[in-house]
Structure 1
Amino acid sequence: MPVVLSGKEQSLFRTVVRNYEDKQYKKGIKAAEQILKKNPKHGDTLAMKALCMNSQGKTEEAFALAKVALTCDMKSHVCWHVYGLLWRAVKNFEEAIKAYKFALRLEPESVQIQRDLALLQVQMRDYQGYLVSRRAMLAARSTIRQSWTALAVAQHLSGDLAQAEGVLTSYEETLKNPPSKTDFENSEAVMYKNSLIAEQGDYQRALEHLESAGKHNLDRLAVFELRATYLTKLDRTEEATKAYRALIDRNSEYKTYYDGLIKAMGVAPTDHKAMIAVYDEYAEKYPRCDAARRLPLDFLEGDDFKAAADKYINRMLDKGVPSTFANLKHLYSSDFKKEVLPSLVQQYIDSGKSEKSEEPKRNGDTSKGASAAFYFLAQHYNYYLSRDLDKAMDFIDKAIELEPKSVDFHMTKARIWKHYGNTQKASEIMELARTLDTRDRHINTKAAKYQLRNNESEAALKTMGMFTRAETVGGPLADLHDMQCVWFLTEDGQSYARQGKTGLALKRFTSIFNIFDVWQEDQFDFHSFSLRKGQIRAYVDMIRWEDQLREHPFYSRAALSAIEVYIKIADKPLLNGSNGTAGLSEEDAAEQRKAAKKARKEAQKAEREALAKKNEPNKSTREGDNDPKKKDDDPEGIKLAATTEPMNDAMKFLTPLLQFSPKNIDVQLAGFEVFIRRKKYVLALKCLLAAAALDREHSKVHSQSIRFKLALDKELDTINPKTAEVIKSEFNLIPASVPLAKFNDEYLSKHKDCARRTLSGLTTRRLLSPDASPSVEKDIVDILKFPTVTSEEATEAYEVLKSWKSSEVDTFKSSATQTWPKATIFA
């Protein structure tokens, strides 16, 4: 039987609820204890006390108390609601939904429980459940626009566009007076309804709705853009042309408007004369417009291109615009344009036009034209499609001689050194560039990135500290974590991985994984906020973006790096278990044992501290602090590096990659490496076939195919017969009748001019015939003689020889140094 409170105690219970809402948790607990003295089994009070305790960071005690509350009163909707809130606080949304549904059965009329349930359903993408919840909420509060809009969104997300539009129409029909023209919520609702009509493909009706309901909409730009789009799709040429001309008059630098205008005018993509007439018109109308002069270079060819490019380049260089090359480098996909552009710049230099130009220079300096021209050529020869680093260095030195305090010029010089392979010199030059403008955050981050590439972790952190908050507890690194500075954490992690500091590397990559989790969870607040503020179109865009969040390159890069580290741990468990470099020579054996002993002691100490902290009573936090900071019990990543199941840990990073980036060949290759070590042969084959579908001749696809065949032959007896049959029928990358050695030799012969594929074939030959190791190692040294070999490919070969402890390492290093004398890795 539920305990019934007296009138005084009921008033005290309302005080507990009010204290919780006001974040006065100590007062709330004190008031709850007053009630519990007389009624120790009052479930609702126990539940509210648990909620206050959870807000103070006492999660375990709060769950224990909530379970006691449920045993005292299983039929209390408050107890079940609180139980759901506790699960929501620890991000276990499935359990929270179960608790909310139970609470709702007990109290079907509760608006708060219904709202909490709906928010979790959309967070978990349970659109059908969300639809049911929103219908119930609309029935309860049908006079509020937000209820109707939310139901329309639920219909939209579940894929029923017509029903979503119908819901918005039904609400409009209930209005007795038209909304004010300045009503932002109505303005957004009208545009949202218009997007629903257009998404159904009914552009005629969408246009009519836009010109009637959206005529005076507050988002004027969206109205103009949509109107132009609809008119074009409906082939109303004259009106569409007029609409796009109006848009260009608003923003003459936006390429999409020019494309829309040309399409609306019915100009064929091959009719260059008509297209150039459009651009010339706006170039004359807007003398300072860059887009109208630059965009024709995309489609012009031959002498027409040369004339237009000459005119554009002269204009830009006369002004001394540093971004000229950045504006034009996309044209380098054409061999003709790639040759013409630098020749025009060279002509500009030779003709001495810089001194004759009447264009206004930056700061009135007449040398700006010449320095901009030298800068263009330096970038040209530094670009990967036209690389000649010696020429690039020559031109950037000439530019710096004219403008010794230019940050841009020094940044490019640092990039040239980076492409030489000299990370130390690149870092020094970028640091010099930073000192030329200490108030520029961009050059500050560039300097830090180059320091990390040179494995100067402490210096990079100090550089970043110039722009972080000085008062942050934990220093610059803590602030970078708080600010979710993903690029820094990624570069820092990769730097530690190169240094062999596995624990710190995994610590950084795990931080990035957690940041993406936070971004996933942060949308929770927007489910209610966006509806309350009426920002429906932005909300739907956010939902769709969140659905594809982990296909972002930031995640892919960090996850692949983490998987690579875990694979190394699996292949050769760390001798020291943490952040020291595991030397391979016998001389370092004593050092390794000492480091391993120290790491074990640190790990044991960390575990003892964590256990002691777990057992001691939780200390209450300050009032109003509902997000207490947790102390990191593994700041050095010792526990992460000491994992006994690295492949299981790697799966945490791999699973989202395979789900969201299946077309990334590096993801499929990494998937194979993980699954083959876990002896999940069907999944390994799936990744291998996916990679082969993307690039059958890829160097790693070749080596992995042979490794898979070897593993299959070795483990055939241990594999389930039906599974083995499926694998044999699907694995078609190597003909069954061809010996592996012959298959590998054919691959080598086919790609005898490609350094990376030759390296793959040679490492595979050594795998198939260990006795051939000496000749294979010599053949790897001969890769340096390939005319197209790059420093990156040479580095890969060098690392392979080092991992084999080859006697040819010094020979390779000596030869590589002659070819790339400035590269630090061969120094």
Structure 2
Amino acid sequence: MAQQQQLSHKDAALFRQIVRHFENKQYKKGKFRLKAAEQVLRKNPNHADTQAMKALIISNQGQQKEAFALAKTALNNNMKSHVCWHVYGLLYRAEKNFDESIKAYKFALRLDPESAPIQRDLAHLQIQMRDFQGYIQSRRNMLQQKPVFRQNWTALAVAHHLAGNLEDAENVLTTYEDTLKQKPTRADMEHWEAILYKNYIIAESGDYEKALEHLDAVGKKSPDVLGVMEMRADYLLKLGRKADAADAYAALLDRNPDDSAYYDRLISAKGFAAGDEAAMKEIYKIWSTKFPRSDVPQRRPLDFLSGDAFRDAADSYLQRMLRKGVPSTFANIKHLYLDRSKLEIIQDLVERYLKEDVQPQMNGSAESSPDDEASRFHCSALYFLAQHHNFHMSRDLSKALKYIDEALQIDQKSVDFHQTKARTLKYLGAIPEAMEIVEKARSLDERDRAINTKCAKYQLRNDQNEKALDTMSKFTRNETAGGPLGDLHDMQCIWYLTEDGQSYLRQRRLGLALKRFHAAFNVFDIWQEDQFDFHNFSLRKGMIRAYIDMLRWEDRLRDHPFYTKVAVSAVSAYILLHDSPDLVHGPIPNGVNGVGQDAQANAAERKKAVKKAKKEQQKLEKVEADKKEALRTSKSAAKATDGEVQKDDPDPFGKALVETKEPLQDAMKFLTPLLDLNPGSINAQCVGFEVYIRRRKYLLALKCLLALHAIDPQNPTLHVQSYNLRKILNDANGASSKLAQIISTEGKTLLPEDNKLVEWNNNFLNHHRSSTSHIQAGLRVRALIGKEAKATNEKDLLEALLLDTTSMEEASTGLELLNEWGSSKEVKERYRSSAAERWSRASIFQAKQIETQ
């Protein structure tokens, strides 16, 4: 190992300046720092610390391989340099290799135990990884080094709190308070936030009496008045001091009469008997009289009233809202539809308003005329009924279309009316027509971001990806690198990435689909990494309670519905890629599989489809290359916010993603967190089974099957997957005999017996005669068993289409089954025409649409 070179006074000063710029995050001076490092290295080529800092600089410029190589050289030059090991840890952290990063930090600390930056970075990485015991030790060391800083005491309390040591956390905060010689002023936000945080810890331990006593002692001086009032009211209610709790919640309602949670807790504090409608109605009457402009005290009685009392209250509320023309009236009351009688009363009331032409009362304003108010009331009633008949619990789309058309005749420039008509057409299956209507709504108010977003969403649902991007570009910074799509990535517009990916998945353009899904996945990674910024910031600013809430939210980040949607779609794409490897070349129509009665003809057709897909892909790649070349020659090259030119996307079509050799292994990146954090999702368990069964992980597949059975024992997909697992167990080349025996034992309640497959499936079909989705599942299994002729299955599938309970989505699934079975064009046309007769406006059953599938 070479000895560390000694720098001259001038070079040492330059080196310190490099370090200072980095510690202050002055990244705009990256070029200066790089030149300064190179200047030092020209005179001292083997100076390890400067080499390490240069490695860190070029790492921030995206040169990761070069950075690691230079960092290793620096370590070889001086293995006992804490700077080199610290930098090595930072490089591993940038690569998300947190275990190696922690090892490097700890080695650096052995060399320099007093280094505050190394200790801080280690602590931040430990809390990021939820290594609470390690975090406690690091924070204890930092406190011993600098006990005068309050944030070191608070950080140690946070460490104990997150580790579950509530008593230790409280003692740490108490110890610091005892060391204070002067009482902090009311303006000392950090102190009072720490005081309330201590109270938060006491309450979390379950000792509400002690928490209340502490809050009464310190709460009057806290600047967070609302927080103290809410905590005190909550403690009183939990301690059973209902009279005091009622007064506390009454005080809170005086501050905010629109918080529905306050009313719930006030009623709980009053101790009314269950179903005491009169008493609860009186409570809301008092507050509605006191705050006549507040919506909640007038709306909430509708939740518990029934019969004539409900009719009177609903009549009053609906007339009040419809007279004002409040667009959210239906959204405010739609959850009442869980009670069928309330649904019928509301429908009857609004229909009566239209029949009787109820005239609204005048408000005394000289500027409003009866005709204007009557027209507004009439339009509001029509709009309400259109939404009412659009809702899934009261759906009658022909009536919904009738009412919204009447409303549009009165007000042809209403964005809300056009949007509701588009939604009705969407439910009718007329996606292209719905897209045109919502595009018209967007043109009525081009400054409205909400309707612009809705328009783009409808365009994506119609697989008009370029058009949707053009629509979104009206509200994006199009001068940035990557144009509108690049800005949508920067803004983490996850709904767009998801919808765009699902559109490409429907089109079987798997490269672009996976590109979008990975981009959405990376957004969740960014949200998780963003915690790093708050580990120091929150403690420095003293916002501890919000910091704790943020950490707990991050722990369940990937149980968010958006992640479930992204992950299920991505895993489905990988399964499709595994089953149909030719899709790597581009979209190939369904049913072109190279097998069937005329395998040679089908194979030729598939070869032709693959060739066509390759040509289309090459054409798209050429267009994209031309765009890049035009951008390079343009003088207005896009710049990043720090002045550095952003890199072009080297793989705009996701070619590298779709050319993977192990699609199922890649799918695990999405599937593992999905199953860990959202095991109650039916779709998650279904795709999990499909991945594991293909990877020959039969016990894990059984685990998914059992979880699905626990969620929904009558799920139709469960029936198909149960058969698939049994089929594999019966296959001589499937699971080993020992494994098969274990699976049969554990899954005996689910898996059919070997010699009773036909009987088991027939029983399933007989038990679910009125459910189209279950019939389709049974027919799929029957086709797999192969005991019945294909014509019989096709006939039964067509009969299921004619059931009154069949939905448009189930009818669409029937078409997919016919493609799966390799049915003839005549059978498909007969099925399509029957579906088109029933859903005449549905674009999916149009002849042109079928021809392209």
Query: Same-fold call, TM > 0.5?
Result: yes
CA deviations over 1:626-648 (Å, ceiling 9, x no partner)? 98744322101122222222111
Following superposition, the deviation at residue 671 of structure 1 comes to 0.3
Aligned partner of 1:432 in structure 2 is: 440
Structure 1 range deviating more: 355-364 or 133-142: 355-364
Contact 1:583 1:592 in 2 (8 A): no
Question: Are 1:131 and 2:139 an aligned pair?
Answer: no
Given the superposition, is the C-alpha separation of residues 818 and 31 from structure 1 closer, same or farther in structure 2, using an over 3 Å criterion? closer
Shift of the 48–643 alpha-carbon distance from structure 1 to 2, 3 Å rule, reads: closer
- For residues 226 and 484 of structure 1, what CA distance do their matches in structure 2 show? 35
What does 1:530-679 correspond to in 2, within 5 Å?
A: 530-575=538-583, 577-578=585-586, 584=592, 589-590=607-608, 592-596=610-614, 629-679=646-696
What letter matches 1:731 in structure 2? G
User: What is the aligned counterpart of 1:730 among 737, 746, 749?
Assistant: 746
Q: Does 1:795 align with 2:812?
A: yes
Instruction: Name which of 42, 48, 51 aligns with 1:43.
Output: 48
Query: Helix, strand or coil: the match of 2:120?
Result: helix
* Residue 16 of structure 2: aligned partner: 14
Secondary structure at the counterpart of residue 214 of structure 1: helix
Deviation at 1:423, TM superposition (A): 0.1
Counterpart in the other structure of 1:2: 3
**Distance verdict in 2 for CA 1:191–1:628, change over 3 Å:** farther
Q: Which moved more, 1:251-260 or 1:596-605?
A: 596-605
Does 1:67 find its partner at 2:72?
yes
CA distance in 2, matches of 1:388, 1:110: 70
TM-score scaled by length of structure 1: 0.94
User: Aligned equivalents of 1:522 and 1:577: distance in 2?
Assistant: 37
Range moving further from structure 2, 473-482 or 747-756: 473-482
Match of 1:618? none
Q: Which amino acid aligns with 1:272?
A: E
Q: Report if the CA contact (8 A) 2:590-2:819 is conserved.
A: no
Aligned-pair CA distance for 1:157: 0.7
CA distance, structure 1, for counterparts of residue 468 and residue 117 of structure 2: 49
Find the counterpart in structure 1 of residue 413 from structure 2. Answer: 405
Match of 2:836 in 1: 817
> Quick one: distance in 2 between partners of 1:677 and 1:590?
28
Q: CA deviation at 1:578?
A: 3.4
Q: Do the aligned partners of 2:776 and 2:814 also contact (CA within 8 Å) in 1?
A: yes
State the Cα distance separating 1:38 from its structure 2 match. Answer: 4.6
Identity %: 52
The change in CA–CA distance for 1:368 and 1:274 in structure 2 (over 3 A counts) is same
Does the Cα contact within 8 Å between 1:57 and 1:627 map onto a contact in 2? no
**Does the CA contact (< 8 Å) of 2:575 and 2:663 recur in 1?**
yes
Say whether the 8 Å CA contact 1:777–1:801 is kept in structure 2: yes
Amino acid at match of 2:539: L
* Distance in 2 (alpha carbons) for counterparts of 1:569 and 1:103: 46
Note closer, same or farther for the CA distance 1:817–1:302 as it changes in structure 2 (3 Å cut): same
- Residue 401 of structure 1 and its aligned partner are, at CA, apart by 1.6
- Structure 2 residues not aligned, in runs of 5+: 593-601, 626-637, 847-853
* Alpha carbons 1:354, 1:367 under 8 Å: kept: no
Write the distance in 1 (CA, Å) between the matches of 2:314 and 2:746: 53
Residue 509 of structure 2 is matched in structure 1 by: 501
2:485 maps to what in 1? 477
Q: Answer whether contact 1:400 1:406 (CA < 8 A) is retained.
A: yes
- For 2:747, give the aligned amino acid: F
Q: 1:178 aligns with which of 171, 180, 183?
A: 183
> 1:332 offset after TM fit, Å?
0.6
CA change 1:71–1:600 in 2 (3 A) is farther
Aligned 1:645-794 pairs, distance under 5 A: 645-715=662-732, 719-732=735-748, 733-736=750-753, 739-769=756-786, 771-794=788-811
Counterpart CA distance in 1 for 2:357 and 2:623 is 72
Aligned to 2:595: none
- 2-side partners of 1:770 and 1:474: how far apart? 55
Output the CA distance in 2 between the equivalents of 1:500 and 1:449: 19
Structure 1: distance between partners of 2:330 and 2:538 = 42
Confirm or deny: 8 A CA contact 1:407 1:436 kept in the other structure: yes
Counterpart-to-counterpart distance in 2, 1:454 and 1:250: 47
In structure 2, what is the Cα distance between the partners aligned to 1:674 and 1:729? 22
Task: Give the length in aligned residue pairs.
Answer: 813
| Aligned equivalent of 2:156 | 151
Alpha-carbon spacing, 1:341–1:597, altered in 2? closer, same or farther (3 Å): closer
Contact 2:728 2:734 in 1 (8 A): no
- C-alpha displacement of 1:463: 0.9
The match for 1:826 among 835, 845, 849 is: 845
C-alpha distance in 2 between matches for 1:627 and 1:152 = 41
What TM-score, normalized by structure 2, do the two folds share?
0.91
Code of the residue aligned with 1:508 in structure 2: it is R
Within 2, Cα distance between the matches of 1:382 and 1:359? 36
CA drift at 1:554: 0.6
CA distance in 2, matches of 1:798, 1:359: 61
Whether the 8 Å contact between 2:585 and 2:610 is mirrored in structure 1 is no
Q: Is the 8 A contact 2:582 2:610 kept in 1?
A: no
Could you say what secondary structure the match of 1:172 adopts?
helix
1:575–1:470 CA distance, 2 compared to 1 (3 A) = closer
2:117 to 108, 112, 116: 112
Deviation by residue 1:329-373 (Cα, 9 ceiling, x = unmatched):
001111111111100111122222135555979995430111111
Q: Per the alignment, do residues 734 and 14 of structure 1 end up closer, same or farther by CA in structure 2, a change over 3 Å counting?
A: closer
Partners of 2:305 and 2:503 in 1: CA distance: 45
CA–CA distance in structure 2, aligned partners of residues 169 and 626 of structure 1: 48
In 2, the alpha carbon distance for the partners of 1:350 and 1:718 equals: 69
Q: How far off is 1:95 after superposition?
A: 1.3
- CA distance in 1 between counterparts of 2:57 and 2:751 reads 64
Aligned twin of 1:612: none
Q: Partners of 1:429 and 1:624 in 2: how far apart?
A: 38
CA contact (8 A) 2:586 2:610 kept: no
Deviation per CA, 1:687-726: give whole Å up to 9, x if none. Answer: 01110111111000011001110011114x6534543332
Q: 1:419 to 1:479 in 2, by over 3 A?
A: same
Give the gaps of 5 or more residues in structure 1: 608-620
